Structure 1
Amino acid sequence: MANSRSGDSMLDRFVRILDAFDRDNSSLSVATLARRAEIPLATTYRLVEDLCGHGLLARDRQGQIRHGLRLWELANRGAVTQDLRTAALPFMEDINQLLRQHTQLSVLHQDEVLIIERLSRPGAAVNQANVAGRMPVHRTSMGMTLLAFSRPEEIAGFLERHGEIMRSTHPHLRAEMAEIRRRGYASMDGYIDEDTTGAAVPVTNDAGYQVAALSVVVPRSTASLQPTIMALRTAARGVSRTLGYRRES
């Protein structure tokens, strides 16, 4: 697409507008979109009209702008994560029924934990994970599991980019990751909510590297994590087999 006078392409601007929304701001005014996307207001009005015309954005009765249904439809057509989600859902449902806690499936994407699916449970422990939401690697059991079971070159690249914050949060990072690999799971107490413990296990491929993580958040007062870990590991093995991998998690 042709570049604007500022040098960014029309596609860049479309992406910045779509990316301006987040979990806490699912609907925005055009003026706020313009500010967040760093695009002139008049141009934003025109681009928003184009996106609304194609169903990628929608305008509500108050004139606020939100993601359109067609965007969701296109995103879910043949997405790589769909096979993973389809394979994992039956096992996640079993965990959700057994442990009676929110259960989530996540992947490592662009150096963050991306939540692919979450099954909720009334009365379960507080859980900040939301579908399509992102969470930091260094503060979640999901992130530490995904990082620890990544390929060595991927770990090295991640630490080159984020080593300072990782080591400030995890002073013995290398030893901690080695321990996660040895025991096959990560658990973290109170990093997101002080009254909860997160526990996560990897879903692995034939080479033993992660393709996803299965996790739950339980009350920090839980007497023992072992039943939780056993359920998660059994489910992760099932997901791996369903995906066609022979090696067990």
Structure 2
Amino acid sequence: MAGRTRGDDEGVVARIARLLAAFDDDEPELGIERLADAAGLPRSTAHRLATELARHGLLAKTAPGTFCVGTRLWEVGELSPLSSRLREYAFPILERMYEATGENVHLAVLAGNSPQTAEALYVVKVSGETSIPTLSRTGGRLPLHTTGVGKALLMGRDDEWLAQYFTRRLERETTFSIVDEQRLRADLAESRVRGYAATRQEMTLGNFSVAVPLPGIPGLPAAAVGIVSHIGRSSESRLAPIVRRAARDIAAAVGPRLARR
């Protein structure tokens, strides 16, 4: 039927979920027309839902007809175990990593509803004046196959999971990105043998990264910790022991506290 949208046969929760998912790094504020298009909803429906969400603080109006994520949604997000447990107890360890290296330090978890949609969700980023620029940000997502923490997360997936993952098309971020299944599988096999994942200019030219998966922690998604540096400033052999120790320390700090809750 002409004029129908994806939202015509959906419940209100699904519509709200797609409305909230329309906001991203590039568009943290959206006018109602753009919001409706991004969510695949009629403009009248998008306006009604956005106005109601703003009334409850889940969205906020920044100008007439323009919305952004609201403070109440941020408050609720902070109740997630990723914030109240993993990030809280891992942060001192990540700070020590930064103090020891002066480089970008990342903690990420596996996110996505399936292997075909899985990405690395960045829970913590610690950096400073001496750190090189990276595309990562706390709360942001980046591909698994081109990032250190992403490859570390792939290291821990089983054959069935990886078989589904490789049905997707892997995008090339730089000329050094590994997008061929056999090459990436070989890279992951080498990573498992040496105990850490590594990338060299696969996400950003000039950068390399070293990352280690955390041991499984009950109640939390798979997680990994990593460091990103410039290829001419440090080395895998120097950073790998620091990252390995951090992974063990984070698991030791977080695991017992989760068990007591």
Q: Same fold (TM over 0.5)?
A: yes
1:127 match: secondary structure: coil
Partner residue of 1:53?
A: 55
Sort the Cα spacing of 1:122 and 1:62 in 2 relative to 1 into closer, same or farther, 3 A. Answer: farther
2:8 match: secondary structure: coil
Opposite residue 49 of structure 2, the aligned amino acid is L
Q: TM-score normalized by structure 2?
A: 0.84
Where do 5+ consecutive residues of structure 1 fail to align?
A: none
Sort the Cα spacing of 1:206 and 1:116 in 2 relative to 1 into closer, same or farther, 3 A. Answer: closer
Opposite residue 17 of structure 1, the aligned amino acid is L
Superimposed CA distance per residue, residues 164-217 of structure 1 (whole angstroms, 9 cap, x where no aligned partner): 53873454233221111111111111112111112111111389xx83111121
Opposite residue 153 of structure 2, the aligned amino acid is L
In structure 2, C-alpha distance between the alignment counterparts of 1:212 and 1:5, rounded to whole Å: 34
Could you list the structure 1 runs, at least 4 aligned residues long, displaced by more than 4 angstroms after superposition: none
Partner residue of 1:96?
A: 98
Does the 8 Å contact 1:105/1:214 carry over to 2? yes
Partner residue of 2:154?
A: 147
Opposite residue 236 of structure 2, the aligned amino acid is L
Sort the Cα spacing of 1:76 and 1:223 in 2 relative to 1 into closer, same or farther, 3 A. Answer: closer
In structure 1, C-alpha distance between the alignment counterparts of 2:7 and 2:20, rounded to whole Å: 21
Deviation at 1:61, TM superposition (A): 4.0
Where do 5+ consecutive residues of structure 2 fail to align?
A: 1-5, 113-117, 172-177, 257-261
In the alignment, does 2:179 pair up with 1:168? yes
Opposite residue 79 of structure 1, the aligned amino acid is P
Partner residue of 2:188?
A: 177
Partner residue of 1:16?
A: 18
Deviation at 1:244, TM superposition (A): 3.0
Sort the Cα spacing of 1:10 and 1:175 in 2 relative to 1 into closer, same or farther, 3 A. Answer: same
In structure 1, C-alpha distance between the alignment counterparts of 2:48 and 2:90, rounded to whole Å: 41
In structure 1, C-alpha distance between the alignment counterparts of 2:7 and 2:208, rounded to whole Å: 51
Sort the Cα spacing of 1:62 and 1:197 in 2 relative to 1 into closer, same or farther, 3 A. Answer: farther
Opposite residue 215 of structure 1, the aligned amino acid is G
Q: 1:221 aligns with which of 232, 236, 253?
A: 232
User: 173-182 or 233-242, which moves further after superposition?
Assistant: 173-182
User: 186-195 or 55-64, which moves further after superposition?
Assistant: 55-64
**How many matched pairs?**
238
Does the 8 Å contact 2:16/2:49 carry over to 1? yes
Does the 8 Å contact 2:210/2:228 carry over to 1? yes
Deviation at 1:119, TM superposition (A): 1.2
Partner residue of 2:175?
A: none
After superposition, the CA RMSD in angstroms is 2.3
Opposite residue 187 of structure 2, the aligned amino acid is E
Partner residue of 2:133?
A: 126
2:233 match: secondary structure: coil
Q: TM-score normalized by structure 1?
A: 0.87
In structure 1, C-alpha distance between the alignment counterparts of 2:80 and 2:24, rounded to whole Å: 23
